[in-house]
Amino acid sequence: MSPEASAALSLLNAGAVRERAHKLLAVGLEDRLPNFHVDLDRMDATAELVVETTRKAYPSLAVPFHSRWRHFSSDGADRWTALADRVAWQDSAARARAEFDLAMVSVFLDAGAGPSWRYHDPVTGSAIGRSEGLGLVSLAMFAAGAFSCDQRQPLRADAEVLANLSVTDLARGMQVSDANPLVGVDGRVNLLRSLGRLVAAKSDVFGSCDTPRPGGLFDRLASLTDDRRLPAPTILSVLLTELGPIWPSRLRLGGIALGDCWKHPVLATDDVTSQLMPLHKLSQWLAYSLIEPLQNAGIAVTDIDGLTGLAEYRNGGLFLDNGVLTFCDEGDAFREHDVASPLVVEWRGLTVALLDRVADDVRRRLGLDANALPLAKILEGGTWAAGRRLARERRADASPPIKIISDGTVF
């Protein structure tokens, strides 16, 4: 392996995300960042808001993990469990493959929907936007067999169907119209097509116990367990290694796609990874979302705090809207910013590091340790919900505090 390829692999893990995020924060604490000031005096109020939000949603503090599965519930009804419990699965692995299929397709459809799009839910009659709406519509499509080759077995996603998905098919399934526009439809379709092609090409990884399907990754992860135990960072590393080629052409190093990894000028090093800030938001969101299917199949997932917080606009919005972060140039609040811009990269990296800090403060206030309240639960309880709450209070369309130009594959 070339030195450049080895360097690339050093960025495809949660440890690299956390290390470089905290380096960025350290520069921020010296007030040497180009785009944001950091005010840690606002962290107390932020932690208190997270605690208040968590207690309101989960009075007993029995907080679930932050994962895609939360978005498959509506009005207290867990739609996936109700559906899956009616199926006579061959064994627990068969159900886990279906849950992997659903989670992977749904997460790849989960980049920001934009402020206008709504899912008009035929079950409740409600119009539901953003991530919650994307979750419910992706589940409805999955339940209807939209991603299956065999309509007698609708609860699966097959590589062949994903590879040939059309914009029209996805737009119809997601209720997209001129009156109900969804940001980044083409990007989402291209991502699912790329997923389908890759899964078909890697039948040794995704088809060891079935025809090639994303859910075949369950069998690969099961093979990596030690006494039916699997560290959460291993889930992420496998996702980044196996799915890396599906992402749109961004940065590459030693021929290896770096995925959700961007440049920031203050992160200078003396090697070929200089200025690179890995974030891997969707991949980490997916890693969190695969924990429960693995647990349900009898695999204990360990070191969940080895993953990082998610560098997305609800968590990031929490720190901006609550004053922990402020713009160096106030005009940046009114401009649009590309996801590759140093401002957005800086915001996202700071978000990861600040989530670690606020998590420690939240645990202290609640009298719980990291085993009882891992980061995955603080995000759910939590920072994501508090960020969404502030967005709703401060902007009529509940949009992020930064205007982001998105292609539907990052946020």
Domain ranges of the chain: 3-405
**18-56: pLDDT as tens digits:** 999 999 999 999 999 999 999 999 999 999 999 999 999
Q: How many CA atoms, within 13 angstroms, populate the side-chain half-sphere of residue 296? A: 20
Lowest mean pLDDT among 23-27, 99-103, 181-185, 350-354: 181-185
Query: What is the mean predicted confidence (pLDDT) over 62-68?
Result: 94
Spatial distance between the Cα atoms of 398 and 411, rounded to a whole number of angstroms = 15
**Pair 253, 269: CB distance under 8 Å:** no
Rounded average pLDDT over 292-310: 97
> Mean pLDDT lowest for which of 15-29, 58-72, 108-122, 137-151?
108-122
Residue the block writes with tokens 């203050």 = 266
pLDDT for 398: 87
**Residue 10: pLDDT band by 50, 70, 90 thresholds?**
very high
Average confidence (pLDDT) over 142-155: 96
Of the two residues 108 and 362, the one the predictor is more confident about is 362
Evaluate if residue 73 carries a pLDDT over 70: yes
Side-chain half-sphere exposure of 30, counting CA atoms within 13 A: 8
Which of residues 249 and 168 earns the better pLDDT score?
168
Q: How confident is the model at residue 407 (pLDDT cuts 50, 70, 90)?
A: low
For residue 398, give the amino acid letter.
Answer: A
Which has the minimum average pLDDT: 55-69, 165-179, 201-215, 247-261? 247-261
Question: Can you tell me the mean pLDDT for 343-349?
Answer: 98
pLDDT at 292 over 80: yes
pLDDT at 76: 82
Task: Name which of 145-159, 243-257, 305-319, 377-391 the model is least confident about.
Answer: 243-257
Q: Rounded to an integer, what distance in angstroms lies between the CA atom of residue 251 and that of residue 258?
A: 6
pTM: 0.93
Pick the closest to residue 14 from 324, 290, 236, 271 (CA basis).
Answer: 236
In angstroms, the CA 260 to CA 311 distance is 10
**187-204 pLDDT, tens digit each:** 899 999 999 999 999 999
Measured on CA atoms in the order 124, 125, 128, 131, is the torsion positive or negative?
positive
Residues 6+ apart with CB under 8 A from 363: 369, 370, 373, 378
Average pLDDT over residues 229-243: 96
C-alpha–C-alpha distance, residues 98 and 233, integer Å: 22
SS3 label, residue 85: coil
Q: Round the average pLDDT of the chain to a whole number and report it.
A: 94
How far is Cα 387 from Cα 283, in angstroms, rounded to an integer? 21
Residue 138 pLDDT exceeds 80: yes
